[in-house]
Structure formats: C-alpha cells, structure tokens
Amino acid sequence: MTATHGTTTRTAAAHERVEVTLTVNGTPRTASVAPRRLLSDFLRHDLEMTGTHVGCEHGVCGACTVLLDGAPIRSCLTFAISVDGRELTTVEGLAADDGTLHPVQQAFRDHHGLQCGFCTPGFVMSACGFLAENPDPDEDQIREGMAGNLCRCTGYAGILDAVKQAAGAFAGSATHPCEQHRVDADATDGHDREA
Amino acid sequence: MKPSAFAYHAPHSLEAALDTLAELGEDGKVLAGGQSLVPLLNMRLAAPAALVDLARIDGLDTVEVTDREVRVDARVTHERLRTHVAATDAIPLLREALDWVAHPVIRNRGTALGSIVHADPAGELPAVLALLGGHVELASAPGRRTATADDYLVGPLESDTRPGELATAVVFPRPEPGTGSAFDELARRHGDYALAGVGVTVTLDDDRKVRRADAAFIGVGATPIQVPLTDALAGQASDALEPDDAIDLARSTIDPEDDIHATARYRRHLAGVLLGRALQTAAARAAAGGTA
C-alpha cells in the first residue's frame, strides 16, 4: 500500500483532468480524469474495460466488485483518483491468455451460476476475494461471503454451489485464488490494505 | 447516479489536512473509506464543493490497545479492526458488532471511525461507542478536543464535527472485569441496516449476580438509545436471568418510527425480544469469565 503514501499533497480543481495510473491485471494503465470519476467509470469509459458492470451505483448490488491490492471492493464507491498508483484485478484478468477459464469462472459455468450474466463479474470477483481470505469455507461462510452481491434472475443455489466447487479446486493448491493469472504477488499482509 | 463535481485534496500529512480543512471551512468534506459518503454523493443527497481525501496521509492508521482502552485511528477499516486480535480480545463486543456491519466487501474500505462520524441511527459502531462510554478525538488547525459519545452523536446522520475539523481517532474504553457483552440485530436482508438492534453489557459481582447492566439500541431512535438496566436487573443470578422488567423499561424508553420496512409497533416488540436474548448471552459470557 506504499503506493498511496505519497510525501506530497495532491490537489485537483473540480473540473480539472488529472492523470491517474493504475496497474490493471498486471498492466499499467493511465487516463486523465476529473476527481469525481468513479473507479467503475474509469474502467468502463476511460480504459474501455466493460467487463466490470455497473448496477445500482450506490454500493448495494455488488455488480461492480473488483479487487484492489487483492481485496474485493465496490468500484462504484471509490474514486479513481483516490487509488492512483495501486493495483486492480478485474474480471478480464482472470482467464488465462489462451482462454482457459479461471477455476471460479469454470465453477460458475459448471453449476449454471448465472442466467442473464449481468451480476456475474461481481460475483466472480467477490468469490475470488472471499476464497483468498477463506480457503476452506463452510456453507454458512460462503453465504456470508457472497451476501453482498445481488442476482435478480437465476437465484443463488447455483452460485453457492459454484463457490463451493471453486473452493475445492483451490484446496491443497499453493496458488492464491486472486493470483491465479496475475503477474505479481499481493504484497500486503492482509491487515494493511485500507485506502 | 454520478457525483457532482468537487475539488480534490489529498494531503500527505495530518497538519496539511488540517490546513486544507481550515481554508475550505464549510465547503470541505472529509473522505475516508467513502462507503457511506460516496452513495450520498452519487445520489446527490450531498454535493460538497471539495473533498479532503485521507488516502495519502502518512499515519492515522494505528490500532492501539492499552490496559484501559482501544484507540482506533481514522484510516482503520472495519475489516482491519474486526480481525485485529488484540483489539477484539480486549473488547469482544467490537468484533461481534463489526460482524453485523454491511458486507465483507464494504468492510474492506469503510472505516470504523467514519461510520461514527456518519452517525446513522442504525449504525452499529455508534451504539458500541455510546454503550462503552467512549469518545472521539477531533483535530483542527487551532487545536484539539475530545467529544463523548453523548455529545458527539447529535441526531440522525448528524455528528458534532465542526467545519475545519477532522475526527482523528475513536477511543473505546475496556469494560471492567466480570463484564460480558453481546450484540444482536435483525434486518430484512443480511447486511442491510437493522430494523432494530441492541448491544448490551452485563457486569457480575463475585457471587455471579448482576451488579450492572446497560443497553444501547440502534434503529429505534434518532441516535443510539441508551437504556441503563441496572435497576431492573441488579441482584439477579446470571444463570436465571428474568429480563421482563428490563424489556418493559427498554420498550418504554425507545422511540421507533414507522417506515416502509417495519411499523413502530413491530420495532418496539423486536427491540425487546433482541434485548432479552442479548442479556442472556452477555450474562452467560460474564459468568464464563469474559471481559466483554
């Protein structure tokens, strides 16, 4: 998190566009945006990465969930400028270059954990962050961990089954769920990741 | 659902932040985790001219546990406090209350002190602060002050944070030995704001009889509603608690309102049920030697 600890004060006028650089799925990406730019819109509009979906835009639905330095957050409740310099993982960063699905994605496919698919990127990213923190969850923990994401069409049984399968896929593996296809390792200690 | 434009300041030190807040006066609003503020901005229920972001401040990120208290700096997230072993061993009520705060993904960014500054009447941490008799530390360019929970939590979404001030830390006193605690609440959906909830502390004497009991309710008044229960429970054995008098007292003290989620009558009933359960749990924990 040292990236957010500058020794200089940063300021921007209300309509001033300032450069924001984030490492997204291992690649540094820069865009000039106004301070009010939400991280979700930074991804979708400025970086043209539309895998991250925007549902309610006030933190209720979870569709916009991404990983910030490995921990899941709501990108609609975060300003891009606030996390300048930090590392993001989005749903685009999960599958391997050859198209092989990430174990969490594969599990959602296997268990039909989606219908229209709108909420799916958020569920997948929440599941990745959740499994990193809880590698061997029981059913109640899975429900608690996924409770911050809403699905309005297919119901939750398939989704919970998918998370269970994904947990099994990671069990005994040394691979960190969030780092499956990431370039570098999460350097935080899990107790030091607030912005 | 986009915020209106605001000027952005991300100072690198507390001193720089206080200077900026002093310059901005009523135009400045502090951004910490943003999990309550950004929804208000997105819905344009709030439109401050400038935000002062704590993200780049070097410091303000310590949890300090002493014999007397747990002190939590402004940038400490819910999740970090919830998983802080020394802090939650010192005050188990903190962990139990934080388990009820929203969802894990929200807790990853939302700050413990931020939820107290936000002062939502259904927020868990303001009630914990009131119940334990804690205080908030505030800094401004001219100086420092502290405010007790009673003085600080003024009304719904209203805390006594003055223009130019920054809430820098919250201090939760450790309960005295022989104290057990519990937090319980009910929401329509898991992680939503509670229809009603309650935190309690029960302190036993050497004969395992109640010497002191207190409750603080959420979601049933403009601020956390504190109800001293010592008179209603003193002298009762911890394993044969009869909470009816305490429940009646609480139901006549709280001031719930009707809304789309529940009637005032239901909330009053629910608050009593939750109190009864929480008291039994807290008394059992106290008897088992808990220190709240």
Closest CA to B204 of B289, B83, B89, B91: B289
Measured between beta carbons, the chain A residues lying within 8 angstroms of B11 are 9
Pair (A80, A131) in one structural domain? no
Pair (B227, B143) in one structural domain? no
**pTM metric for this prediction:** 0.93
Pair (A29, A87) in one structural domain? yes
Structure tokens of B19? 């200077």
Task: Please tell me the distance from the alpha carbon of residue B115 to that of residue B123, in angstroms, as a whole number.
Answer: 7
Q: Do A10 and B10 contact (CB within 8 A), yes or no?
A: yes
Q: Does B47 touch chain A (CB under 8 A)?
A: no
In a domain, A145, yes or no: yes
Pair (B152, B68) in one structural domain? yes
In a domain, A64, yes or no: yes
Mutant choice from A40, A45, A82 vs B, greatest count of B C-beta within 10 A: A82
Q: Does B104 touch chain A (CB under 8 A)?
A: yes
Cβ neighbours of residue B249 closer than 8 Å, sequence gap 6 or more: B227, B229, B232
User: On the CB side of A106, how many CA atoms lie within 13 Å of its CA?
Assistant: 15
Closest CA to A20 of A1, A35, A8: A35
Chain-chain contact of A77 with B3 (C-beta, under 8 angstroms): no
Which of A93, A111, A142 represents a domain boundary (last residue)?
A93
Which of B135, B150, B173 represents a domain boundary (last residue)?
B173
Which of A65, A93, A121 represents a domain boundary (last residue)?
A93
Structure tokens of A177? 């769920």
Q: What is the CATH number of the domain that holds A109?
A: 1.10.150.120
In a domain, A174, yes or no: yes
Pair (B165, B233) in one structural domain? no
Closest CA to B206 of B181, B174, B238, B241: B238
Pair (A18, A86) in one structural domain? yes
Q: What is the CATH number of the domain that holds B47?
A: 3.30.43.10
Q: What is the CATH number of the domain that holds B140?
A: 3.30.465.10
Pair (B44, B135) in one structural domain? no
Dihedrals phi, psi of A23, to nearest 5 degrees? -90, 110
Which of A43, A69, A93 represents a domain boundary (last residue)?
A93
In a domain, B1, yes or no: no
Counted domains in chain B: 3
Pair (B30, B124) in one structural domain? no
Closest Cα in chain A, distance from residue B107 (Å): 9
Task: Please tell me the distance from the alpha carbon of residue B96 to that of residue B106, in angstroms, as a whole number.
Answer: 16
Counted domains in chain A: 2
pLDDT tens, chain B, 292 aa long? 899 999 999 999 999 999 999 999 999 999 999 999 999 999 999 999 999 999 999 999 999 999 999 999 999 999 999 999 999 999 999 999 999 999 999 999 999 999 999 999 999 999 999 999 999 999 999 999 999 999 999 999 999 999 999 999 999 999 999 999 999 999 988 888 999 999 999 999 999 999 999 999 999 999 999 999 999 999 999 999 999 999 999 999 999 999 999 999 999 999 999 999 999 999 999 999 866 5
Q: Do B172 and B128 contact (CB within 8 A), yes or no?
A: yes
Task: Please tell me the distance from the alpha carbon of residue B125 to that of residue A28, in angstroms, as a whole number.
Answer: 38
* Residue pLDDT, tens place only, A58-83: 999 999 999 999 999 999 999 999 99
Mutant choice from A39, A75, A79 vs B, greatest count of B C-beta within 10 A: A79
Which of B128, B153, B173 represents a domain boundary (last residue)?
B173
Structure tokens of B169? 């830390």
Q: What is the CATH number of the domain that holds A82?
A: 3.10.20.30
Pair (A18, A65) in one structural domain? yes
Which residue segment(s) compose the domain that B50 sits in?
7-56
Which residue segment(s) compose the domain that A135 sits in?
103-179
Pair (A112, A84) in one structural domain? no
Measured between beta carbons, the chain A residues lying within 8 angstroms of B6 are 14, 35-36
Task: Please tell me the distance from the alpha carbon of residue A78 to that of residue B161, in angstroms, as a whole number.
Answer: 23
Q: Does B11 touch chain A (CB under 8 A)?
A: yes
